[in-house]
């Protein structure tokens, strides 16, 4: 069976291979069977390897749900009542952490930056120096709102310097940008099955520092389903998830991880970077401008500024491209109308070239010319 190949240029879910899609077609199985527990044990272990997390120090906790589920799990589970959480925000996903903290009345502060500016760690350092109430810091690694990459190195360093617990949303950078937890330790790192690891949506995970995880035992539980300690403890004891896992998604993830190791992490990074370069050059040739300074770019997603042309109509353009198998994504940054084109997933520079040709045709048809 061949399904029609759509190219998702969206900030997730990403395009998957035919083999990953097909890996979901398996005999029905009860996820409490030993065979399935072994599969989950392997996956938990392999997810550590991808970011060089030592299994003596770290473990993986799985949850059924999208990325926001693990953001909510970590924020509701790891903050005690003694210290406050500092959330560093430069986009919608950082702001989502703030909303979660607000929803559960978790004590927090924020430092906010413009969406087109990366987080300023000199500034964060001064803040931490004069605010001893903080005990936790949270940040988004790759802000998928714009495609900006915040420095994991500076983040990790500050955590070490102040002894604070670090929470990193690496949902759209994990497996797409090299991360090495030996070099840059993080206490709780979150990601999902459906972004740069190139699996199906439905599973989210937390890679957690075991010495911190065990301390959560006697802490306040604010969520029943998303309790990180309870899920961790149950998985350690039984090898199972507490509640029904997305079985077929987990089979697909097994395949996606195999394909990741086969390609190699550095090669994946290079492929994404080449996709990004092809995209950037091509869009520039068509006259488009971008939101970010190239030095801040993740190489995974571009925020394109809508041209100042009366014939330009985002939804018409989206539909034209979508009918031809390419999906782009809207985005409004401050006062600027923009759209987003991501280059993660099982796609290469040839797909990007096809996209650029199709975009050029769309612009001719809609009579959009971008003046210098």
Chain contacts with ligand PLP (rule: CB under 6 A): 11-12, 66-68, 93, 140, 144, 169, 171-172, 192
Q: What is the closest distance, in whole angstroms, from the C-beta atom of residue 199 to ligand PLP in the complex?
A: 13
- Residue 300 or 362 with smaller CB distance to ligand PLP: 300
Beta strands in 133-225 (DSSP E): 134-140, 142-143, 148-149, 165-169, 188-192, 203-209
Q: What is the closest distance, in whole angstroms, from the C-beta atom of residue 91 to ligand PLP in the complex?
A: 8
- Residue 79 or 203 with smaller CB distance to ligand PLP: 203
Q: What is the closest distance, in whole angstroms, from the C-beta atom of residue 360 to ligand PLP in the complex?
A: 28
Closest-by-Cβ residue to ligand PLP is: 67
b/e per residue 315-345 (b: at least 16 CB within 10 A): eebbebbeebebebbebebeeeebbbbbbbb
Are residues 31 and 62 in contact, defined by beta-carbon separation less than 8 angstroms?
Answer: no
Q: What is the closest distance, in whole angstroms, from the C-beta atom of residue 140 to ligand PLP in the complex?
A: 5
Q: Quote the tokens at residue 68.
A: 């926001």
Residue 38 vs residues 6, 33, 157: alpha-carbon distances, Å: 33, 9, 36
Q: What is the closest distance, in whole angstroms, from the C-beta atom of residue 169 to ligand PLP in the complex?
A: 5
- Residue 97 or 346 with smaller CB distance to ligand PLP: 97
Are residues 150 and 88 in contact, defined by beta-carbon separation less than 8 angstroms?
Answer: yes
CB burial of residue 132 (10 Å; 0-12, 13-18, 19+) = exposed
Instruction: Look at residues 152, 248, 149, 187 and name the one whose alpha carbon lies nearest to residue 61.
Output: 187
Q: What is the closest distance, in whole angstroms, from the C-beta atom of residue 372 to ligand PLP in the complex?
A: 33
Total Cβ atoms within 10 A of residue 367: 10
Q: What is the closest distance, in whole angstroms, from the C-beta atom of residue 318 to ligand PLP in the complex?
A: 19
Total Cβ atoms within 10 A of residue 102: 10
CA dihedral 158, 161, 166, 170 (to 10 degrees): 40
Q: Within 13 Å of residue 269, how many CA atoms lie on the same side as its CB?
A: 12
Instruction: Look at residues 11, 75, 3 and name the one whose alpha carbon lies nearest to residue 298.
Output: 11
- Residue 250 or 363 with smaller CB distance to ligand PLP: 250
User: What is residue 216's DSSP assignment?
Assistant: G
- Residue 93 or 272 with smaller CB distance to ligand PLP: 93
- Residue 140 or 228 with smaller CB distance to ligand PLP: 140
Q: What is the closest distance, in whole angstroms, from the C-beta atom of residue 11 to ligand PLP in the complex?
A: 5
- Residue 20 or 203 with smaller CB distance to ligand PLP: 203
Are residues 126 and 120 in contact, defined by beta-carbon separation less than 8 angstroms?
Answer: no
Q: What is the closest distance, in whole angstroms, from the C-beta atom of residue 93 to ligand PLP in the complex?
A: 4
- Cis-peptide into 13, omega within 30 deg: yes
- Residue 84 or 95 with smaller CB distance to ligand PLP: 95
| H helical segments located in 104-140 | 121-130
- Residue 228 or 363 with smaller CB distance to ligand PLP: 228
Instruction: Look at residues 126, 124, 131, 184 and name the one whose alpha carbon lies nearest to residue 157.
Output: 184
Q: What is the closest distance, in whole angstroms, from the C-beta atom of residue 141 to ligand PLP in the complex?
A: 7
- Residue 66 or 73 with smaller CB distance to ligand PLP: 66
């Amino acid at each position: 069976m061949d399904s029609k190949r759509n190219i998702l240029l969206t900030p997730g879910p990403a395009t998957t291979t035919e083999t990953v899609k097909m890996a979901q077609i398996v005999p029905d199985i009860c996820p409490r069977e030993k065979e399935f527990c072994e599969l989950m044990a392997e996956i938990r272990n392999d997810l550590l390897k991808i970011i060089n997390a030592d299994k003596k120090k770290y473990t993986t906790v799985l949850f059924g749900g999208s990325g926001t589920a693990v953001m909510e799990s970590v924020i509701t589970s790891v903050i005690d009542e003694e210290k406050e959480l500092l959330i560093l925000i430069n986009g919608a996903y950082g702001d989502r952490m703030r909303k979660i903290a607000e929803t559960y009345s978790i004590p927090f502060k924020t430092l906010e930056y413009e969406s087109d500016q990366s987080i300023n760690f000199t500034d964060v350092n001064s803040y931490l120096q004069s605010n001893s109430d903080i005990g936790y810091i949270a940040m988004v690694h790759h802000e998928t709102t714009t495609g900006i990459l915040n420095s994991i190195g500076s983040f990790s360093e500050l955590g070490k310097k102040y002894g604070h617990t670090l929470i990193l949303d690496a949902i759209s950078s994990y497996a797409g940008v090299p991360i090495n937890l030996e070099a840059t330790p993080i206490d709780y790192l979150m990601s999902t099955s459906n972004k740069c690891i190139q699996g199906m949506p439905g599973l989210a995970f937390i890679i957690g520092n075991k010495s911190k995880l065990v301390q959560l035992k006697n802490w306040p539980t604010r969520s029943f389903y998303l309790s990180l300690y309870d899920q961790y403890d149950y998985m350690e004891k039984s090898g199972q998830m507490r509640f029904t896992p997305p079985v077929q998604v987990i089979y697909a993830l097994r395949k996606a991880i195999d394909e990741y190791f086969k390609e190699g992490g550095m090669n994946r990074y290079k492929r994404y970077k080449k996709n990004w370069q092809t995209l950037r050059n091509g869009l520039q040739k068509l006259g488009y401008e971008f939101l970010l300074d190239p030095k801040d770019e993740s190489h995974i997603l571009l925020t394109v500024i809508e041209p100042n042309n009366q014939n330009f109509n985002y939804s018409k353009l989206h539909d034209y491209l979508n009918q031809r198998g390419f999906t782009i994504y809207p985005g409004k940054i401050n006062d600027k109308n923009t759209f987003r084109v991501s280059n993660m997933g099982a796609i290469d520079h040839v797909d990007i070239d096809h996209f650029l040709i199709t975009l050029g045709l769309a612009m001719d048809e809609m009579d959009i010319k971008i003046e210098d």
